[in-house]
Amino acid sequence: MVAKRIIPCLDVTGGRTVKGINFVGLRDAGDPVDLGRKYARDGADELVFLDISATVEERATFSALVERIAREIDIPFTVGGGISSLEAAGKLLEAGADKVSVNSAAVHDPGLIDGIARHFGSQFVTVAIDARVVDGKWVVTTHGGRKMTGRELFEWAHEAQERGAGEILFTSMDHDGTRNGYPCETYAALADLLSIPVIASGGAGSVEDIARVLTEGKADAALAASIFHYNEIPVPVLKRGLRGMNINVRL
């Protein structure tokens, strides 16, 4: 059985790690280089870096900061934010990223997924999807949740897979930062639909929340931020707790 992955996420703006609730009300959470080093040392399976203001500010992700973090860690490193071209993806991979995460630009130009997957391989492409429930349907948003789209979560995730995505990172905007748990039924439906891994994001507040999304929600990995950044549930404590529930994680 493939081990479930635990992935801390660094949401970065202005060179600092931040965290909010439902994508707003951001507060400082520390230096991303220091945090990345700590999570690698603590036994995180991977690290995700998201430049959350790059798309809104219409600029490229800060590759220099990515390079600094990459030098300090020895675990797989996914980088996203403002990636709108094959060239931009290539620069981040050169800077030390192991995978790139595309979101808003891919919704606008789905061919971006095909291009990156064709050039670098599907294993290098994570498609991040931010969605919220509107009139009973999961509607995809872009630009850090600021813009609603006409796309629906399940059809967009399936299209992303068919275009070459290696995994889907789905964040529930309704649950993000609330620490009230994940929408497990939605994750389970997504996992049943797709043949590629699904990473759950948005809502982790306890070991039990993460255990549920990895079991009932059928997610292949759980991504979290607040509980790690503020040392509420350190990675080693979380992994030992999950092992105690008979969930296969690497210690």
pLDDT level of residue 23 (50, 70, 90 thresholds): very low
SS3 assignment, position 165: coil
What mean pLDDT do residues 145-153 have?
91
Q: Positive or negative, the Cα torsion across 18, 156, 213, 126?
A: negative
Higher-pLDDT residue of 18, 184: 184
Strand partners, 141: 130, 148
Residue in this structure with the two tokens 């707790």, named with its chain if needed: 241
* Residue 247: C-alpha distances to residues 81, 114, 186, 225 (Å): 31, 34, 20, 21
Second-level CATH architecture of 5-244: Alpha-Beta Barrel (3.20)
Domain ranges of the chain: 5-244
CA distance 176 to 170: 11
* Matching residue, tokens 């990675």: 235
Write the pLDDT tens digit of every residue in 72-89: 999 999 999 889 999 999
Answer whether residue 28 shows pLDDT above 70. no
**Alpha carbon distance 154, 40 (integer Å):** 32
Q: Which residue has the higher pLDDT, 17 or 105?
A: 105
Mean pLDDT of the chain: 91
Q: Which residues have a catalytic role annotated? A: 11, 130
Is residue 25 pLDDT above 50, yes or no? no
CA 233, CA 239: separation in Å to the nearest integer? 10
Other residues' Cβ atoms within 10 Å of the Cβ of residue 27: 11
| CA torsion, ordered 251, 19, 74, 234, to nearest 10 deg | -20
What is the C-alpha separation between 11 and 17, in angstroms, rounded? 5
The stretch 102-131 carries a mean pLDDT of 97
192-210: pLDDT as tens digits? 999 999 999 988 999 999 9
d(CA 44, CA 50): 17
Burial class for 42, CB neighbours closer than 10 Å (0-12, 13-18, 19+): middle
